[in-house]
Structure 1
Amino acid sequence: MSQAREHSSEHWPKRTFTNRDAGSWAAVRKRAAHLAFGTPVLPFLVVGAIVLIDLAGGAGVIWLPLLAAGPALAATTSRPCGVLCVGLLAGALSVMLGTRDGVPGGELAAVLSALAAVTLASALASALRWRRERVLAAVRSVAEAAQHAVLAPIPPSVGPFQVAVRYSAAAAEARIGGDLYALVPTPYGVRMIIGDVRGKGLPAVGTAALVLGVFREAAYDEPDLLAVVGRIERSLARNLGYDDFVTAVVAGYPEPGRLEVVNCGHAPPLHVRASGSVASVDPVNPAPPLGLRALTGETPSLQVLPLADGDQLLLYTDGVTEARDHGREFYALAEGLARHVSDEPASTLAALDAELQAHVGGRLHDDAALLLLRKPAVPETVSAVVAGGGSITVPAPPRPPGAGAGVSCGRGAE
């Protein structure tokens, strides 16, 4: 105890001095950063260059009106106080240069009046610009909150899957678009959806929210995946216009090794086997997009395929496959996936997204979503009875390649 007290008393004054000193330096740095942020450096440089030209050439009144360029330029980069500072400096320099060059009083007064008018107008423009920027920042924060509410973040592991998601909205200023995705664990296994709403903007966001809300509720209630799709279809039929629709892929993993897929007019998922080969899961019986069943009379069908340990499934929207480069060439997603596939879905999607951005030159022209799932291998165990009535758990011997593998055929909608 005495050692602790001695240690505390020995270092207490030093710690107090350090904190106070650090706090004062932090305050100084904060003031300096705030001053540097609000200081219009470029306008000051322009004003200084005009003064130097006038001093070097002695042209008098010819150069004085150009000092108004300082506050006018400050309005595009600075706050109103910065604009006023540049205007006051330009006015003082005008008086100094006008007196030095012998400019008549009437002409100097006209120059100062014009400079004052430009400064006031620039300060007003700067105030309006800062107000619009604050409103835009608030709108962006609301858009981000709406995106998190509609597209809830997906954890890196859901049920037996490793999961990664990448989403890019074409309207970068709003940071939200019409693509949708969700992945939820349910009593009937992990279920997921990815879709693309026709159109853009707020109407598309509202439709995406509607689809995701119905999906999350139906995924927990309906034991049959086709029934989940049917509830989404009925909800859209009640709420969408006659020319609105949603393309989507709804999938489920009800039991080990069995993946169910319902494709409603959407781009087919890509199945990556443990060997690294990539295959497209094309629908056996193509179905119309959600919201158009009443017009076509066709119903979607359930497609079943095996999903072994180490396999991966990539769901995506057409903003990825329809991305074009400067030569109008589409992005080859299957080839890119085969190049970048790894045991970490997040790393795979990061490499795909970087390649996609490079392909289009840094800006997508449509919303793009990528959802990648990987079924990691789980070591099987067996229990062995030992002497004394106890038991130990040891890893089971590996099965020979292909043992227990099977292929399920798709079945139609009932």
Structure 2
Amino acid sequence: MKSDVVLRYAPYVVIALVAVIDLLDGPPLGFVPLLTLGPTFACAYGSVHRTLLAGATAMVVCLVSAAYFDRLDTWQNNVILATIAAVTGAGMLVAHLRLRRERELANVRLVAETVQRVLLRPIPRKVKDLTVALSYTSASAEARIGGDLLEVFSTPYGVRVLLGDVQGKGLAAVDTAAWVLGAFREAVFDERDLVAVSARLETTLARQLDPEEFVTAILAEVDATGIQLLNHGHPPPLLLGADGQVESIEPPEEGLALGLAALACAPPKPQRVPFLPGDRILFYTDGVIESRNAAGTFYPLTERATLLLAGEPQPALDRLREDLVKHVGGPLLDDAAMLLLHRRTRSG
């Protein structure tokens, strides 16, 4: 807010400084032409009215200075007045166009946020015996929307999870994300196993995507005895045991991303791993592990995942996200989504 006040009064401060310098140095140097800086600064931040006011103020100061130094009738003073008027007019046009673009951008942001709320509905924080924590950071900070998607549902077959990464980012990925999430939300209640859910997603995307487009994703199903995973070319999740061990759950075979079934390769194989009370599992997109610092070093997620072992899941995941941003040292260059599941003990 302090910077807003500075920018608001900057045109008049500049005009005052030019007037003082011109008064002190006298007519030989003639700093009066610099009065055009007033409306120039005003149009960069203020409205059309403020630009006009700054231009009028500059012209009044110019006339007062000319009267003081007895140069009202000189052609130089007329040229300066004409220049101030021209710059003010141009500044008013620039301010008008800038404000129109800002309104358009505000509307785009509003639409993007609405679409994002539809696509990424509020994830339940407790599902059966699981506590859920999530973090979503879009690379398109202005639009607040990205190409990563996630979903959690409690179904008759167990708690089912989807975390995916649409090729591309920003608004261009919204259409694909909508199709994937829509298909998943229907299939999780209709199909008895993850392979059938995966097949439904493939069928939907085959009708919508171009041959070169794809979605990496990982499907999970948590039941009373463990967790089943189906990895479609996605980074492997990290299993954090109650004993403090961190393990990357690599798929038994490399699986193709969703949308590439036309390549006629075998679908990914389901993988089952123990998921005991007290354990945690982290799902994430490649925007996390591909984030680099100024030296070009990738974020060491497996090493830093120990931050997730202590405390409640959501604060722990928030600490990991803060550590990621600190590692990068600035805005992320790709969308980054993380989903942490914690299987509570009977006492927790």
Question: Which category of TM-score, normalised to the shorter sequence, fits these structures?
Answer: over 0.9
Residue segments in structure 1 that go unaligned for 5+ positions in a row = 1-32, 381-414
Name the structure 1 match of 2:187: 218
Name the structure 1 match of 2:199: 230
Partners of 1:309 and 1:200 in 2: CA distance = 36
SS, match of residue 61 in structure 2: helix
Residue segments in structure 2 that go unaligned for 5+ positions in a row = none
Q: Shift of residue 116 of structure 1?
A: 1.4
Q: Shift of residue 109 of structure 1?
A: 2.6
Query: Contact (CA 8 Å) 1:177, 1:367: kept in 2 or not?
Result: yes
Q: Shift of residue 60 of structure 1?
A: 5.8
Task: Select the residue among 147, 151, 167 that pairs with 1:178.
Answer: 147
Name the structure 1 match of 2:39: 71
1:208 aligns with 2:177: yes
Partners of 2:314 and 2:307 in 1: CA distance = 15
Q: Shift of residue 126 of structure 1?
A: 0.8
Q: Shift of residue 40 of structure 1?
A: 2.9
Partners of 1:362 and 1:266 in 2: CA distance = 25
Q: Shift of residue 142 of structure 1?
A: 0.8
Amino acid at match of 1:193: L
1:190 aligns with 2:159: yes
SS, match of residue 235 in structure 1: helix
Task: Select the residue among 96, 109, 114 that pairs with 2:78.
Answer: 109
**Is the alpha carbon distance of 1:139 and 1:127 closer, same or farther for their aligned partners in structure 2, counting shifts above 3 Å?**
same
Which ranges of 4 or more aligned residues in structure 1 deviate by more than 6 Å?
36-39
Name the structure 1 match of 2:251: 283
Query: Contact (CA 8 Å) 2:112, 2:171: kept in 1 or not?
Result: no
| TM-score normalised to structure 2 length | 0.95
Q: Shift of residue 161 of structure 1?
A: 1.1
Partners of 2:112 and 2:90 in 1: CA distance = 33
Task: Select the residue among 362, 373, 398 that pairs with 2:341.
Answer: 373
- In our comparison, the structure showing a higher alpha carbon Rg is 1
Percentage of identical aligned residues: 42
Name the structure 2 match of 1:298: 266
Task: Select the residue among 55, 64, 69 that pairs with 1:96.
Answer: 64
SS, match of residue 254 in structure 2: coil
SS, match of residue 40 in structure 1: helix
Q: Root-mean-square deviation (CA), in Å?
A: 1.8
Query: Contact (CA 8 Å) 1:68, 1:115: kept in 2 or not?
Result: yes
Q: Shift of residue 256 of structure 1?
A: 1.2
Task: Select the residue among 54, 66, 82 that pairs with 2:22.
Answer: 54
Amino acid at match of 2:162: I
Name the structure 2 match of 1:338: 306
Q: How does 1:32-51 map to 2 (within 5 A)?
A: 40-51=8-19
1:165-218, Cα deviation, whole Å (9 max, x unpaired): 111111211211111111111121110011111223433221111111100100
Task: Select the residue among 259, 265, 268 that pairs with 2:227.
Answer: 259
1:307 aligns with 2:275: yes
Partners of 2:40 and 2:236 in 1: CA distance = 55
Partners of 1:137 and 1:304 in 2: CA distance = 46
Query: Contact (CA 8 Å) 1:60, 1:102: kept in 2 or not?
Result: no
SS, match of residue 257 in structure 2: coil
Query: Contact (CA 8 Å) 1:276, 1:341: kept in 2 or not?
Result: yes
Partners of 2:205 and 2:290 in 1: CA distance = 26
1:39-85, Cα deviation, whole Å (9 max, x unpaired): 83111111010011011111267222111111111111111111111
- Larger RCO (CA within 8 A; separation ≥ 6): 2
